[in-house]
Amino acid sequence: MIIFDSVSKTYEDGALGLKNVSIHIKKGDFAFVTGASGSGKSTFLRLLLKETEPDSGKIYIDGNDITALKPSRIPYLRRKLGVVFQDFRLLPSKTVYDNVAFALIITQTPKNEIKDRVPEVLDLVGLSHKHLSMPDQLSGGERQRVAIARAIVNRPPILLADEPTGNLDPDMAWEITELMEKINKKGTTVVAATHAREIVDKLQKRVITINKGRIVRDVECGGYGDD
């Protein structure tokens, strides 16, 4: 599903992003990416989103080399990658419903299909009753659930999350994690960068640890580790 082949990335200012990273994340995996601050976790996700380009190496999604993708095709790549951030990134002027529907509007989904799919996915994240609320009327956990709903409403094969629980208290964080696991069980490949030791330990999924741009640990089924 996702393959990194000897990928290196150094930023313009000389900061090291990734150094010779090769990894294979299979379809249906739930993978945590862990590591100290500044180790390169976000860089890993950013490369997948084609928000930044590697200096060398190749990245494949579904067998396609995305490093060779034309800029005009980037939007279509991103439609296959649901993405969730620590700061939720909802449109503050739109209701919960409209925030989710927006992802379908931009892919020019027919209106009646939008009407079916938005309530469906809001039900999945448990926010049906809040569909008319504005983002600023929601708790952090609820906002993140809206963001997840928006990320998966297009039914992308992959869900990327960059510290999805970073702004949440432990209870909320666990709820979000459970939600992501639920989505993963439905067949979506999930890659989540995180600092949340308890969650990683509790879930016992694949853990990829990065240190100074290199992969230093990769376990199929484990905890946060000891660093």
Partner 1 sequence: MIKSFLSGLSYSVSQAVDSLSKNKLMAFASVVIVNACIFAFALSLCIIINISYSLDKLEKSVGIELYLGDTPTDEQIRSLKTQLEKIPHVSSVTYVSAEEALEKAESMWGAQSLEGLKEGNPFPRSFELKVDGIGSQKSVLAAVEALRKEFERVVANNIIITETTTQTTTLLTTTTRETTTQTTTSLTTTTRSLPYYYIKPRDRVASGRAARAVTTTQATTQATTVAPLGLPTPGIKSEAATESTTMYIPDVGADGYIYKGIEYISHAGLLTDTLIALDAAVKTIAVLVTLLLGAIAAGIIINTTRLTVMLRKNEISIMKYIGATDWFIREPFVIEGLLIGFVGALLPCALCALIYSRLYSYFNTSLDMLNTVVMLKPTGELFAVVTPVCLLLGMGLGAFAAYGATRKYLKV
Based on the shown chain and the rule CB under 5 A, indicate whether residue 86 belongs to the binding site for Mg ion: no
Partner whose binding site includes residue 11, from Mg ion, ligand ATP, partner 1, none (CB under 5 to 8 Å by kind): ligand ATP
- Tokens 């995180």 — which residue? 194
Stretch that binds partner 1, among 30-38, 105-113, 129-137, 181-189 (CB under 8 A): 105-113
Q: How far apart are CA 194 and CA 178, in angstroms?
A: 15
Strands 56-61 and 64-65: antiparallel
Per DSSP, the residues of 182-199 read: HHHHTT-EEEEE---HHH
From candidates 19, 58, 78, 217, binder to partner 1 by CB under 8 A = 78
Q: How far apart are CA 115 and CA 128, in angstroms?
A: 13
Smaller CB distance to ligand ATP: residue 74 or 134? 74
Based on the shown chain and the rule CB under 8 A, indicate whether residue 134 belongs to the binding site for partner 1: no
Q: Longest Cα pair distance anywhere in the chain, in angstroms?
A: 51
Partner whose binding site includes residue 40, from ligand ATP, partner 1, Mg ion, none (CB under 5 to 8 Å by kind): ligand ATP
> What is the DSSP-derived secondary structure letter of residue 213?
T
Based on the shown chain and the rule CB under 8 A, indicate whether residue 89 belongs to the binding site for partner 1: yes
Partner whose binding site includes residue 143, from ligand ATP, partner 1, Mg ion, none (CB under 5 to 8 Å by kind): none
Residue 52 CB, nearest approach to ligand ATP (Å): 7
Residue 40 CB, nearest approach to ligand ATP (Å): 4
Residue 82 β-bridge partners:
159
* Binding residues for Mg ion restricted to 11-50, rule: CB under 5 A: 42
- Tokens 């900061």 — which residue? 15
**SS3 for 30?**
strand
Residue 170 CB, nearest approach to partner 1 (Å): 27
Cα angle for residues 6, 10, 211 (degrees, 5° grid): 70
Residue 83 CB, nearest approach to Mg ion (Å): 13
Residue 148 β-bridge partners:
none
Contacts with partner 1 by CB under 8 A lie at: 49, 51, 72, 75-79, 83, 89-91, 93, 102-103, 105-108, 150-151, 154
